[in-house]
Amino acid sequence: MLSMSTVSEDGCSSLASPWGLVEPYDFPDTGRGLRCVRAVAEGEELLAVPLEECWHEMAARRAPELAALADASLSETDAIALHLLLERAKGDGSERAAHLRSMPPVYDSTLFWSEAELAHLRGSDWLDLARRFAEELEADWAALQSQPAVAALLSRHGLGIEAYRWAYATVKSRAAEVGMGDEKKRLLAPRFDMFNHSTAVAPGSSH
């Protein structure tokens, strides 16, 4: 089983490189991902990511512009998504610019499909699922817009529903659930978010 460690800034790890024992690689059948740079033993630490580099709700709510929205009703997903968008708006001035550049600019997700593309799903349960996901996104966006302080923040940065759709898809597709204290939280970690997974790939294979 693959595991990732998150360590605090003053924590320690046996890994000398930020990439640990993995490196980016383009697999012919699964696309861009990570592979081990050498043979590894079961239970060996592959990658350690400082918690301070990760995107999570607590970090998002500490960001100055989001901290000013203390009275706003923001879900965990919304807080992280807004944090992503605010940092992306800073461009190279963001301390998280390198990680943001590594994220896909678009996603092959039904959230981005046109009605003509969705029509190919007719007759399957996937169409209902795709529509439900789209409705959830639109409801979340409407809830954000209904809060004057949040709507003003979005308007100030020129952030519309398409930008939010990207951030929402980023959180939904690249974040993992991890234990933080006694709670499970959604966390998006640099480098770790490049791991691909498939139930068709046997443990111990090249993937």
pLDDT attached to residue 198: 59
Once rounded to an integer, what is the mean pLDDT over residues 120-148?
94
- pTM reported for the whole predicted model: 0.79
pLDDT attached to residue 174: 87
Once rounded to an integer, what is the mean pLDDT over residues 173-191?
83
Percent of the chain with pLDDT over 70: 86
C-alpha angle with apex 32: 31 to 33, nearest 5 degrees?
Answer: 115
**At 29, which amino acid appears?**
D
Helical residues (DSSP H) of the chain, grouped into ranges: 57-62, 64-67, 76-89, 97-102, 115-118, 125-145, 148-156, 161-174
pLDDT attached to residue 27: 81
**What are the structure tokens assigned to 196, written together?**
């691909």
Is the predicted pLDDT of residue 5 greater than 50, yes or no?
no
CA 39 to chain centre: 28
Rounded to a whole number of angstroms, the distance between the first and last alpha carbons of the chain is 12
Asked if 47 and 4 count as a contact pair (C-beta separation under 8 A), the reply is yes
Residues 6+ apart with CB under 8 A from 145: 151, 154
Is the predicted pLDDT of residue 3 greater than 60, yes or no?
no
34 band by pLDDT with thresholds 50, 70 and 90 = confident
70 band by pLDDT with thresholds 50, 70 and 90 = confident
Determine the Cα–Cα distance for residues 79 and 88; give it in Å rounded to an integer. 14
| Mean of all residue pLDDT scores within the chain | 84
Determine the Cα–Cα distance for residues 87 and 8; give it in Å rounded to an integer. 21
Lowest mean pLDDT, pick from 1-10, 63-72, 129-138, 145-154: 1-10
In sequence order, what DSSP letters do the residues of 166-207 get, joined into one string? HHHHHHHHH-EEEEETTEEEEEE-TTGGG----TTSPTTS--
204 band by pLDDT with thresholds 50, 70 and 90 = low
Find residue 187's DSSP bridge partners: 56, 176
Is the predicted pLDDT of residue 11 greater than 60, yes or no?
no
